[in-house]
Structure 1
């Protein structure tokens, strides 16, 4: 008798995830396909779903994990369309990303984890169950992906990059803790961010290989968006740059020269995320325009943010403005107001005056 988790017992669903160590290998190596060969840990039966009542029933073992199939079906028919607004990119997330998952079990677990959170979002009556499955899937995939990241090759870089990209959406879609500042935790950089920032090494060393593979459309689209971003930054006048005033305040008031350099560098990187800010309509904001700051912001800045220095918090408040632009996505809803409210509570009266513009743009008023 293998253990089942409480949520599975509560919902009368077999806990195949805790009982199984492999989803197609479990060692992070490529395989010929995800065969989801979870045999039942309870004597040769498999969970089936009653299409009318929505409750599981027992039937002869077929060697299938129907929950995995449900999550994969939801991903390709629904979740994949919510990640990107560009039609070509929607196809890439819907078709190409699952193909990567068929070769790397940890990447497939990232797909299923995000899909489970999506189902928890629009099936509130089963929210706890789907969230628990999402956490199990992602933690299992994260352990393998982190190990593989230490020895990246041409054979596995596509899988690690895919899992890292999915991890961003998974983190944003996960239930928030009251004091969550997204990028930093109690002990330093948020755990998920180690993996995401580690992919910079992959891009720097394997970009040409990635461009020729299943993720090629993503990199081609990213290059086009990057060129537009550069063009718009050149065209933008200082009067239209919301970060000019913040840069001046920090340059004049920050007494620590080393920290001042870190702050100004973070603002310069953040400027890339603001490139499309005052340009309504296509081409408009895409997820990559937001996440570029997450990829490029330095660990030194994140350390200052963890220490809640006043300057780092004010810079972070401006990042909330671009987060707000993606608030229509289910996985981003509420993040901007959640973070700006935490920042407000951490700032002194002087620095609260520095964030009037972000407050107005987000539309959040202190209580």
Structure 2
């Protein structure tokens, strides 16, 4: 249901996300209230200051608002970081008023750090080498860079909120607080990644993607209230972070971060000699290859040529996800599924936003893989069913797609025990 917006004094200095969402921006530097509340980068922290004397009614002691765009950041499409729609609706996160900043690391911070290294790190992955990255490598960056430490504490706080329901609100508040502090240090650096600082930036970027992925866990009643905007925000964030870090991806295999690469790309997904790895020991539906083939055939024969190639590429990337999961068996890594948003063509993103029926049908098949992750990792839960329900509603009048929609619905809407 649409609600009327409150009137407010117009200003051209608000951050990009507040403008996108058409809400009043308080223009607080370096991060406005809405971006701080959601734990996301605010455009006020980067770029060149723009002055507008005629409309500037703030007191002199307040820092000037900064609304600028960085140098072009190239990705696989036209996506760049300034277009990341990652400002989540406040209704999704619940109250997140931050406590008064402590003078230093306090006992609660030490509790969260301890919890991260003895518990949270082991729940983020199934591989011991990846657990070492989260337990040792990332904290080493956190000891040297406080914004990385704040990101770790934010994730640990959300984990504690899951484990201690009676203190959930307190931990969710702490998570938002630490995330906002982490972003204060991260945001000015994210467009100046170089050989000297890429490791802490990569560490925090990975944490931020995880934090955005935790939206259902952070939300009131742990429910995803706006599935389509939320999944687009997650996808956009993945694409933006990847585009920023792409220049340094070749460094990763030569460092202690290497398991992040090797834990995902465990096989040659383009091997023509093994296009359909066996599924017996995997968590995949036994008919997944046939289902994707039916979807491919439907798109190949029923779409305009200028659209078809993008959709067929997206299905081909879904097939790569399938091969990775087939080879992984029960040792599924979230990166095996989460690389897909980065590699799909920009057209798919735009079509999902426009609620294009074919794009929503494609998204429903991706939800099957999100659902698999939900059976493995606590931080991935709460996406697949709300998305599938919304897709089903949107496509209810497209009877020509009903048969193709049956398969993902059957995989997702039937309750399955966690793996």
Normalising to structure 2: TM-score of the pair? 0.64
Q: Is the 8 A contact 2:229 2:353 kept in 1?
A: no
Q: 1:360 aligns with which of 405, 410, 415?
A: 410
CA shift in 2, pair 1:355/1:208, >3 Å: same
Q: 1:323 aligns with which of 360, 370, 394?
A: 370
1:71-95 CA distances to partner (integer Å, 9 max, x unpaired)? 1111111110011101221122111
Aligned to 1:21: none
Aligned to 2:207: 166
Q: 2-side partners of 1:97 and 1:182: how far apart?
A: 30
CA shift in 2, pair 1:304/1:143, >3 Å: farther
1:181-209 CA distances to partner (integer Å, 9 max, x unpaired)? 3655xxxx52x544432333455322343
Aligned to 2:240: 198
Deviating beyond 6 angstroms after TM superposition, the runs of 4 or more aligned structure 1 residues are none
Higher relative contact order (CA 8 A, sep 6+): 2
Aligned to 2:160: 119
Q: Is the 8 A contact 2:264 2:333 kept in 1?
A: no
Aligned to 2:111: 70
Q: 2-side partners of 1:204 and 1:280: how far apart?
A: 25
1:306 Cα offset (Å): 0.8
CA shift in 2, pair 1:277/1:221, >3 Å: closer
Confirm or deny that 1:236 pairs with 2:290: no
Q: 1:211 aligns with which of 220, 241, 253?
A: 253
1:144-176 CA distances to partner (integer Å, 9 max, x unpaired)? 433322111111211222222222322222224
Moved more, 296-305 or 232-241: 232-241
1:353 Cα offset (Å): 2.5
Q: 2:132 aligns with which of 87, 91, 108?
A: 91
Aligned to 1:314: 361
Moved more, 81-90 or 175-184: 175-184
1:308 Cα offset (Å): 0.7
Q: 2-side partners of 1:200 and 1:260: how far apart?
A: 25
Aligned to 1:246: 295
Q: Which runs of 5+ in 2 are unaligned?
A: 1-35, 37-44, 47-101, 278-286
CA shift in 2, pair 1:207/1:147, >3 Å: same
1:267 Cα offset (Å): 1.4
Q: Is the 8 A contact 2:116 2:153 kept in 1?
A: yes
1:63 Cα offset (Å): 5.1
Q: 1-side partners of 2:146 and 2:165: how far apart?
A: 28
1:275 Cα offset (Å): 1.2
1:213 Cα offset (Å): 3.2
Confirm or deny that 1:338 pairs with 2:378: no
Q: Which runs of 5+ in 1 are unaligned?
A: 1-17, 19-26, 29-60
CA RMSD of aligned residues (A): 2.9
Normalising to structure 1: TM-score of the pair? 0.73
1:294 Cα offset (Å): 2.1
Q: Is the 8 A contact 1:164 1:196 kept in 2?
A: no
3-state secondary structure, aligned to 1:259: helix
Output aligned runs, 1:1-367, within 5 Å: 64-174=105-215, 175=219, 176-181=223-228, 184=231, 189-190=232-233, 193-223=235-265, 225=266, 227-231=267-271, 234-236=274-276, 240-255=289-304, 257-278=305-326, 281=329, 284-328=331-375, 329-347=377-395, 348-350=397-399, 351-364=401-414
Moved more, 75-84 or 90-99: 90-99
CA shift in 2, pair 1:266/1:278, >3 Å: same
CA shift in 2, pair 1:362/1:63, >3 Å: closer
Q: 2-side partners of 1:232 and 1:217: how far apart?
A: 26
